[in-house]
Amino acid sequence: MRGLRTMVSNDLRLRIRDRSVFIFSLLVPLALMGVLNLSFGGGGTDSVDLQPAVVVASSENSGQLGEALLEALDTLPMMDVTVTRVAADEVSGETRDTGAELGLILPEGFTTAVTSGEASTVQVIEGDVASIETNVLISVVDGVLQQFAAGTVTATAGGMAGLPEDELTGLAQRTAAGPAALTLSEGQASAEQLSLSGSLVAGQTGLFLLFTVGFGVLGLLAEREGGTLTRLRSAPVAPGTIIWAKALVGFILGVVASSILLTVGSLLFDVSFGSPAVVGLLILAVAAAATSLTFVVAKLVRSAEQANVAQSILAMVLGVAGGAFFPLQTSGIVATLMDFNPISAFIRGLGITSGGGGVADVAVPLAIMLGFAVLATVISRLLPDRGARL
């Protein structure tokens, strides 16, 4: 133990004196977080102020539901919408000429069609300059139409059940115009979603952790090239002490750097990751996984240069695949494989803790990261040494 302690403290002193660990493990990721937040995160805030919008609409003889749709647009709480009514054949030109965000043509007999379960088409025309406001308006129209569609289904079902026609009409109108019976409420913990800023802080922390732990085990290759490994191996210390010391150094650096990045990132970008204790567990687990990966790298390379290249490639692949820059949408086997990416598990764990999740809630991400650590360590033991002579 004395030999291990001596080697670890000496290595940490060398890394601190070298200063490169500060640059590559703290300054660079923090700078990258800042740049990415400015680029994608709206300067550190996730909200967008919607501008006033104009909708040019035709609703002649569309009936009660057509008017309800336009009223829904007119009274949107999140943005100021002005609805200008024109004839159906003037909607397109008026939308273009006035620079309106959206044109909308409701067909004659729209309400009747909905309540009788018949097909009906509502035409939307995007403004010349498609904007976020246009997209919001289209989404609102789509949402209202889907609620109307529920009325159509109700009427159809009533007809099949043999209800009288006057009852069917009333039932369909109540369903279409009334409040939705079921609502979707988005919760943070259940969705495992971080805010954009939170994702960037977590992702960059995970990505640079893979580089930081390399300062430990890959330092062993530098010792070999610098000649000091011979002297270490001739010292009266237990076999395996050298490799364990290097791994411990990488692990310690990884844990410290990740803790600092998450803390500073939280303060700079107004993000909360939840319980520090549970976040600490996640950091320990992902650092263990990252450190184990460096064992594999060290077995596959012949020099420190090769090790740096291999480490960088692995870090970028795992980091990008894990969502260090932006979430990847995958499905099938690829999605399953992605689930075993420790960086992905780390970010997912932080999403859970940021929504108030505890230790039990992050059990799966923790198990994935620790399992990865065990698997990589076992693989590294089985791999033949290509020249690093560890």
Question: Bridge partners of 84?
Answer: 56
Q: Enumerate residues 6+ apart whose C-beta is below 8 A from 44.
A: 37, 38, 197, 268, 269, 270
Residue with structure tokens 């890959």?
218
DSSP 89: G
Q: Nearer to other proteins by C-beta: 13 or 386?
A: 13
CA distance 341 to 149: 42
Residues 214-233 that bind other proteins (CB under 8 A): 226-228, 230-233
Taking the complex as a whole, the smallest distance from the CB of residue 136 to other proteins amounts, in Å, to 58
Taking the complex as a whole, the smallest distance from the CB of residue 385 to other proteins amounts, in Å, to 13
Q: How far is CA 356 from the centre of its chain?
A: 17
Q: Could you say which of 153, 237, 328, 338 contacts other proteins (CB under 8 A)?
A: 237
236 binds other proteins (CB under 8 A): yes
CA distance 390 to 388: 6
Selected range binding other proteins among 13-21, 125-133, 322-330, 366-374, rule: CB under 8 A = 13-21
Taking the complex as a whole, the smallest distance from the CB of residue 355 to other proteins amounts, in Å, to 45
Query: Which of 280, 286, 272, 258 lies closest to 195, judged by CA?
Result: 272
384 binds other proteins (CB under 8 A): no
Q: Nearer to other proteins by C-beta: 25 or 354?
A: 25
Q: Nearer to other proteins by C-beta: 206 or 219?
A: 219
- Binding residues for other proteins, total number by CB under 8 A: 22
Q: Enumerate residues 6+ apart whose C-beta is below 8 A from 288.
A: 251, 369, 370, 373
Q: Nearer to other proteins by C-beta: 14 or 32?
A: 14
Per-residue contact string for residues 247-286; x = within reach of other proteins by CB under 8 A = ----------------------------------------
Instruction: Go through 177-205 and write b for each residue having 16 or more CB atoms within 10 A of its CB, e for each that does not.
Output: beeeeeeeeeebbeebbbbbbbbbbbbbb
239 binds other proteins (CB under 8 A): yes
Taking the complex as a whole, the smallest distance from the CB of residue 307 to other proteins amounts, in Å, to 19
Instruction: Write the single-letter amino acid at 355.
Output: G
Taking the complex as a whole, the smallest distance from the CB of residue 240 to other proteins amounts, in Å, to 10
Residue with structure tokens 């086997």?
333
10 binds other proteins (CB under 8 A): yes
Structure tokens at 305: 């240069």
Q: Nearer to other proteins by C-beta: 174 or 386?
A: 386
Q: Which residues bind other proteins (CB under 8 A)?
A: 2-3, 6-7, 10, 13-14, 17-18, 226-228, 230-239
